[in-house]
Amino acid sequence: MKRYAKPPALLWTLGILVACSIPGPSLPSVTLWEFDKVAHFALFFGFGALGLWAYPQRVGWVITLGLAYAIGTEFYQGLLPWPRTPDPYDALANSIGLVVGVGVMYWVNQKLSRREGGVT
Q: Please give the pLDDT value at position 119.
A: 52
Q: Please give the pLDDT value at position 95.
A: 96
Q: Does residue 29 have a pLDDT over 60?
A: no
Average pLDDT, stretch 12-38?
69
Q: Please give the pLDDT value at position 32.
A: 46
pTM for this structure? 0.77
The answer to which of 27-31, 61-65, 101-105, 107-111 has the lowest mean pLDDT is 27-31
Please state, in angstroms and as integers, the Cα–Cα distance from residue 102 to each residue in 21, 31, 42, following that order. Answer: 24, 30, 12
Q: Write out pLDDT tens, residues 34-66.
A: 678 899 999 999 999 999 999 988 999 999 999
Q: Does residue 1 have a pLDDT over 60?
A: no
Q: Please give the pLDDT value at position 43.
A: 94
Between these two residues, 72 and 28, which has the higher pLDDT value? 72
Q: Write out pLDDT tens, residues 91-100.
A: 999 999 999 9
